[in-house]
Chain A
Amino acid sequence: KNEVEQSPQNLTAQEGEFITINCSYSVGISALHWLQQHPGGGIVSLFMLSSGKKKHGRLIATINIQEKHSSLHITASHPRDSAVYICAVYRNQFYFGTGTSLTVIP
């Protein structure tokens, strides 16, 4: 069993919809990262969280340490948001979720 589980695995949304991607983990961690992998393959870091909530543009990330759960929200989704979103947790090393493939249709 993977230490980090994401849901859903695949997600298709209409442009403008509010999107939520979930991440649950089974180990105690000191930080959680959300990454975005573009269709071309490049990976960029979106957020680092150890508590609470962070916002960057239309993206919001939250974490509940007690419940071992984090969510990534995208407001007013756009086709350019289409990508794989990966949750990663840090406990002496990084452990990655299996990713959520998001497709936003115009």
Chain B
Amino acid sequence: GAVVSQHPSWVICKSGTSVKIECRSLDFQATTMFWYRQFPKQSLMLMATSNEGSKATYEQGVEKDKFLINHASLTLSTLTVTSAHPEDSSFYICSAPPGTSGAGELFFGEGSRLTVL
């Protein structure tokens, strides 16, 4: 079946540094990818929609200058957390639909756990 892979699985960084998380669709092309974050004991919250070849669409309250999203190819989207701070520590998850219809299933990456010291 379709697979979505994230890298890294976990990362620890110092406050003020930037961290890049990659999301790849391994056996299908994804014109759209979705980025979520999840704080402990909470549900997934949609951050942004990544569109290949165009600007990402951010949800209300998500700073687009802090969470840079690039979807340069049909199999790769990246999320860069710029100038990370401890409050950015979270579980970041990407998702990609293999089709263009809402009738199909979505595939999720394994998640990337970011810890900012």
A and B: bona fide binding partners: no
Report B's interface with A, CB cutoff 8 A.
none
Report A's interface with B, CB cutoff 8 A.
none
